[in-house]
Amino acid sequence: MGRDVARGCGPPRMKPGVGAFVPANHAPAAQGGAWPPPLSVERVGSCPLCGSPDQRPLGGVPDAGVQEINRYLPPGIGRFNAVTNELCACSACGLHYLDPRLDGPSLAALYKGWYRFAFPRIFDQWYEAQRAAEFRDYHLRFLDEVAPNRGSLLDVGTGSGAFLAVAREGGWAAEGLDLDADAVEEAGRRHGLTVRSGTLQSALGPDERFDAITMFDYLEHTTSPSCDLDTAVERLRPGGMLAVRVPNRAGWQSRLMGLGWLGIISVHLTYFDESVLRRALTNRGLEVLRVYQGNFRPVTAILSQRARWLRSRVSREWSASPAVADSAGPRGPRPKGFRRNLARLLWSVGIELVDHAGGWFQAGNNLLVLARRPL
């Protein structure tokens, strides 16, 4: 998932007469308790990056992110209702974005479900070590190459604090910022970090400036990317660096899967490619120094992660339904979902390898851009 749900500089611009909250897919409220609440959507009406009302519909797809969170919710508290993500393209700047999208309370509820129930079970110590290596070997190394004099750094949408911890170990005077209270708590629990709670507009003092601001897996989650970029540039010292990573909608995996791309989930509100992100940065007076769309992980890490996923899923189903079987295995009867999970594993490994192959040609799943504010 992502790392923040910023409200930004105010309510998003909408066409007159739109913006009312309606139930997503008109689905019934979750059963079995007051939480989670029913997910609702709001109309956007104009591009959240450039403000243009001219948009082109691209189609809709059922949201897989909600389904994944539901798998980890404990019994007795209900489940999130289904959501369909409707994607459109801005005719002016080329940004792709969801319209309608989940409203603020629904986004907050999903992040609560993610950080309280799903995240701790998915991102164990092994995966946390993999993420730390990724941040250290790529993000921090690239930043150090263009900003060798390590100074103050603000990590926006810091989430569980993985990059923030790596940046501090690397010699930066790094601070974290996240709107989600559960993410702030998770950063403290995992890394002993103190993270500010709030947005770029609300949590900083009027005179605070930074030598570097990082937005890794953040910009696609905020409802106001334009305002957040404006504020980030304003908060940079002259010569300061802005580093942004977002899902790359121009990568091989996205092109192959179309609307079925794994990156299209309800908490990803916007979708960038290099030209759109580069233009957004240069229009704000920044000089783009580096663009990276390659691999962040070796193939061995991908295969290990998928094998751990299968073992975790099968173990959970064995524990939940030990008496239901379709074939025998070394641990006794296998749950009916074993073959389905094995098929999903093989499919997901194939899709990951497509992404990895794309990374060899700078067409991977992630887009990392580093840009400098002029002196």
Q: How far apart are CA 203 and CA 196, in angstroms?
A: 7
Residue 289 in 3-state DSSP? strand
Q: How far apart are CA 215 and CA 235, in angstroms?
A: 13
Residue-level pLDDT at 309: 65
Residue-level pLDDT at 306: 67
Q: Per residue in 187-197, pLDDT tens?
A: 887 888 878 99
CA–CA distances in Å: residue 214 to residues 187, 217, 243, 303, 368: 16, 10, 5, 29, 11
Q: Per residue in 206-248, pLDDT tens?
A: 999 999 999 999 999 999 999 999 999 999 999 999 999 999 9
Residue-level pLDDT at 302: 74
- Asked: is 127-295+367-372 a CATH 3.40.50.150 domain? The reply is yes
Residue-level pLDDT at 366: 97
Q: How far apart are CA 39 and CA 107, in angstroms?
A: 8
Supply the pTM of this predicted model. Answer: 0.84
Q: Read off the pLDDT of each residue in 119-144 and give the average, rounded to a whole number.
A: 90
Q: How far apart are CA 174 and CA 145, in angstroms?
A: 17
Q: To the nearest 5 percent, what fractions of the chain are helix, strand and coil? A: 40, 20, 40
Q: Read off the pLDDT of each residue in 104-120 and give the average, rounded to a whole number.
A: 92
User: How do beta strands 152-156 and 173-178 pair?
Assistant: parallel
Residue 324: is its pLDDT beyond 80?
A: no
Q: How far apart are CA 316 and CA 207, in angstroms?
A: 51
Residue-level pLDDT at 314: 58
Q: Per residue in 33-91, pLDDT tens?
A: 489 999 999 999 999 999 999 999 999 999 999 999 999 999 988 999 999 999 999 99
Q: Per residue in 283-303, pLDDT tens?
A: 999 999 999 999 998 878 777
CA–CA distances in Å: residue 226 to residues 8, 222, 229, 231, 263: 9, 9, 5, 9, 21
Q: Per residue in 158-198, pLDDT tens?
A: 988 999 999 999 999 999 999 888 888 888 878 888 789 99
Q: Which helix (H) or strand (E) holds 332?
A: strand 332-333
Residue-level pLDDT at 123: 81
Q: How far apart are CA 145 and CA 154, in angstroms?
A: 18
Residue-level pLDDT at 115: 87
Residue 323: is its pLDDT beyond 50?
A: no
Q: Where are the domains of the chain?
A: 22-122, 127-295+367-372, 299-357
CA–CA distances in Å: residue 104 to residues 4, 39, 107, 221: 11, 10, 5, 11
Nearest to 159 by CA among 215, 213, 210, 212: 215
Contacts of 8 (CB under 8 A, 6+ apart): 199, 201, 222, 223, 224, 227, 228
The CB-side HSE value for 342 (13 A sphere, CA atoms) comes to 6
Residue-level pLDDT at 187: 82
Residue-level pLDDT at 298: 84
Which of 97-106, 114-123, 206-215 has the lowest average pLDDT?
114-123
The residue with tokens 């660096």 is 241
Q: Per residue in 325-341, pLDDT tens?
A: 444 444 444 455 667 77
Interhelix angle 104-113/64-72, nearest 10 degrees: 50
Amino acid letter for position 222:
T
- What ranges in the chain are assigned the alpha helix state H? 64-72, 104-113, 119-122, 125-134, 141-146, 162-169, 181-191, 225-235, 252-257, 274-282, 299-320, 337-360
Residue 11: is its pLDDT beyond 70?
A: no
How sure is the predictor about 9, in pLDDT bands with cuts at 50, 70 and 90?
low
